Amino acid sequence: MSNPRKILVVGAGLSGVSVSIQLLRKGADLVLIDNGKNASSIIAAGIMNPLVFRRMTKGWRVDDFVPSSVKFYSSIEAETNSSFFQNLPIRRMFSTEHERELWLKKQDREDFMEYMTPLEESDDNYDRCINQFGSGRIKNAFTVNPPVFLAATKKIIEEKGHIIQEDFDYTQLKETSYKSVQYDDIIFCEGYLGMNNPWFSFLPLNPTKGEVLTVRSETLPEDESLNRKCFNLPLGEKKFKIGSTIDWNNTSLETTEEGRDEILKNVSYIVEEELEVLEHQAGIRPGSKDRRPFIGTHPDLQHYHVFNGLGSKGYLLCPQLSEEFADFILDGKALDPEVRIERYYTSD
């Protein structure tokens, strides 16, 4: 029997821990480097919404991503005896009559029936918030509690692999040797810090700052998430996470009065209540200009790989894409052409 592949994963956010879990499940000898500085995954709301509201379309590959996410997160809950994954009904508060008409056109289509609940009179008469144009209820939407999820995955990785708590030092990587330890593969899952990676700097990583608030509300419902101009996530005890702002190419983790005011203005389209702000946070999402992740192998260094750029829908995309990536690394299976980094190779 051949020795397992020894793999070093750099970065312990959503991407890094998910890739690590998938590789461990396939028998890899795995080491994860965690610098303890999480600028995105732990701040994220963790909402997995299958629809794109602007044109009332299904999200990219959502028919693959939803069942894969349910399987992946449920399996980790079972393995660690933890609870971080649950169904989250989302109610889209229509912003125009046209948006309502788009819903009506698609709600009975076979390819949308898994995600749209047919409109009823109660949706038009929904009175728990501002409801000028009616609302639609999304099915097969979920939420992950990021801190509990990250703690659970790290517990598995610690038990089946190894975690090193430190900043990764690029100068210590000599071909496939890091600090005199030899590896078969190096995988970079660094979030927005991937901008500084000397081997993958050709990838046009698009860091996006997002600010979120935790508020107390006497008005917002606690049994579903309302969406119009912003999201709100029920946390229990009349507390809600609401957001978020979008600030392109900003890598500051400082919260701003402008961000706070923007979120509160947006939520005023849902409720007229003056909300009590309990907490204000900022994170940096690693995105791409074409809204597709960066996944693949360096064009010249065949043992260096990247899994990054999942953006705002990371918690929905990551389970399936990390499994496909593990199959790519260990078994040579092809990646989805839309995520392959070859699309950014420069030609002479």
pTM score, whole prediction: 0.95
- How far is 160 from 293, CA to CA, in rounded Å? 27
Q: Of the given ranges (34-38, 127-131, 159-163, 235-239), which has the lowest mean pLDDT? A: 34-38
Q: pLDDT at residue 347 above 70?
A: no
- Calculated CA dihedral for residues 75, 77, 81, 86, nearest 10 degrees: -140
Q: Are residues 130 and 108 in the same domain?
A: yes
- How far is 11 from 290, CA to CA, in rounded Å? 23
Inside any domain, residue 260: yes
Domain boundary among 124, 140, 156: 140
Q: Are residues 212 and 278 in the same domain?
A: yes
Task: Kindly report, residue by residue over 281-324, the tens digit of the pLDDT.
Answer: 999 989 898 999 999 999 999 999 999 999 889 999 999 999 99
Question: The domain containing residue 39 runs over which residues?
Answer: 6-44+146-204+290-344
Inside any domain, residue 54: no
Tokens standing for 72?
A: 């992946």
Inside any domain, residue 65: no
Inside any domain, residue 80: no
Helix segments in 198-337, DSSP class H: 257-267, 314-331
Q: Are residues 243 and 260 in the same domain?
A: yes
Tokens standing for 243?
A: 């957001």
Domain boundary among 140, 155, 173: 140
Q: Are residues 214 and 283 in the same domain?
A: yes
Inside any domain, residue 76: no
The answer to whether the CB of 130 falls within 8 A of the CB of 269 is: yes
- How far is 317 from 292, CA to CA, in rounded Å? 10
We report the CATH number of the domain holding residue 186 as: 3.50.50.60
**Distance from the Cα of residue 229 to its chain's centroid:** 19
Inside any domain, residue 74: no
Q: Are residues 212 and 279 in the same domain?
A: yes
- How far is 321 from 325, CA to CA, in rounded Å? 6
Nearest to 93 by CA among 138, 50, 55: 138
Count of domains forming the chain: 3
